[in-house]
Amino acid sequence: MKKRILIPVLVFVLQMLLTPAGAEQKESWQTAYYDFIMQDGYLRSGEKFAQNNGRDPYEPPYFTLYDMNLDGVPELLVSNGDYTHASGRTYVFAFQNNRVEKPEDTSVTLDSYGNLRCLPGNPEYPGIFSGDGGMGYYYYYYASFDHKILHDEYLAEVTYYGPDDPYTWLDEPIYHRKTKDTALYELFRKEWDNMTGLRFFRKSEIEAMSWEAFVKELTGFDINSPLIEPENGALISLWGEEPLTVRWRSVEGAHSYQITIKCSWTLLNGKNAVETVFRRNYDLLPDAAGKEYTVKIPLTDFDRSRVPRHTDLKAWILLTVIQ
């Protein structure tokens, strides 16, 4: 059986009608997030973080990467290092306008890093779930990010102790629904116990494992991938006339590659939509390791029938190595 090694190059392209094809961003999200963490940019964000001076009430901060809106560019989550629900906070930063920024609504913060869960790849609800409490009461929330504003949805309050005796654990907890989103509430009830906990790392751990390994571990993005063109962060138009040029250098043991192009956008109801507009296999010659390959994909080959034609459409390329 052929083994497929997915190298999600995630070369993100943003359709901008006034931007010439092939224009480049000044910086990639990988570089921007690296500098933000290693140069302690989070300490200048206006939020409270430990500074390792021995007098801070918080532990050193923790970091993770997670794509909250499936646009292909992960958000950077920074926790103040406190595990408890009472004082633990996690802040969301996004790569926008070629730099790391806080969402427009900075009043919304996430729970402690130990209480955050997700359903990776869920197209309807790709955001972050959280839940914690005490004294028999737990509170559950869902956070989503629509490229500008961080939204916080109160899902439910759950009672685990009896009303007459606050120290008697109920056989079945009592759920008090708070959200008006029926589908979201039912998903929370069904999947909470099966959700994936977000994994956070301290800066010292990131340095020990290397930035490349940190990014690949959390996002699948291979900074050292074989893709040569388009470059990371390239801006192109999916509605232009020139074909899309894709160029890569073959790796050891590969006999073919699959190119997949997907688009994502935000619907009017705030949910995310994702569509595959192109997928094709390309066979290589034997002993082709190190050889460069170039394909030109006519834009007419894209299946754009279910993709809206508007300026905030984002697309990305997945390069799959087949060995």
119 shares its domain with 174: yes
Q: What is the pLDDT of residue 208?
A: 92
- Kindly tell me if the per-residue pLDDT of 4 is higher than 60: no
Task: Give the residue from 148, 173, 206 where a domain finishes.
Answer: 206
> Highest mean pLDDT range out of 141-145, 156-160, 269-273?
141-145
Question: For residues 155 and 184, is the Cβ–Cβ distance under 8 A?
Answer: yes
Q: What is the pLDDT of residue 181?
A: 94
309 shares its domain with 242: yes
Burial of 161 (0-12, 13-18, 19+ CB in 10 A): middle
Query: Would the CA dihedral through 220, 221, 227, 233 be positive or negative?
Result: positive
51 shares its domain with 135: yes
Q: Would you say residue 17 lies in a domain?
A: no
Q: What is the DSSP letter of 148?
A: S
240 shares its domain with 192: no
Average pLDDT, the chain: 77
Backbone angles phi, psi at 32, to 5 degrees: -65, -45
32-71 pLDDT per residue, tens: 899 999 988 887 776 666 554 444 455 688 999 999 988 8
Range of the domain at 303: 230-322
Q: Would you say residue 221 lies in a domain?
A: no
CA–CA dist 10, 232 (Å, integer): 8
CA–CA dist 102, 92 (Å, integer): 7
The type of residue at 99 is: R
165 shares its domain with 92: yes
CA–CA dist 221, 143 (Å, integer): 24
Tell me the pTM: 0.70
Q: Would you say residue 122 lies in a domain?
A: yes
91 shares its domain with 148: yes
170 shares its domain with 59: yes
82 shares its domain with 133: yes
Question: Residues near 80 by Cβ (< 8 Å), separated by ≥ 6?
Answer: 47, 48, 49, 50, 58, 59, 61, 87, 88, 89, 90, 91
Burial of 90 (0-12, 13-18, 19+ CB in 10 A): buried
Query: Mean pLDDT across the stretch 245-269?
Result: 78
156 shares its domain with 279: no
Q: Would you say residue 58 lies in a domain?
A: yes
Give the chain's domain count. 2
Q: Would you say residue 19 lies in a domain?
A: no
189-217 pLDDT per residue, tens: 999 999 999 999 999 999 999 998 999 88
Task: Give the residue from 147, 172, 206 where a domain finishes.
Answer: 206
104 shares its domain with 187: yes
Any idea which of 85-99, 146-160, 217-231 has the lowest mean pLDDT?
Answer: 217-231
Q: Which helix (H) or strand (E) segment is 153 a member of?
A: strand 150-161
176 shares its domain with 249: no
270-297 burial: b if 16+ Cβ within 10 Å, else e: ebbeebebbeeeeeeeeebeeeebeeeb
Any idea which of 9-13, 94-98, 236-240, 268-272 has the lowest mean pLDDT?
Answer: 9-13
Q: Would you say residue 110 lies in a domain?
A: yes
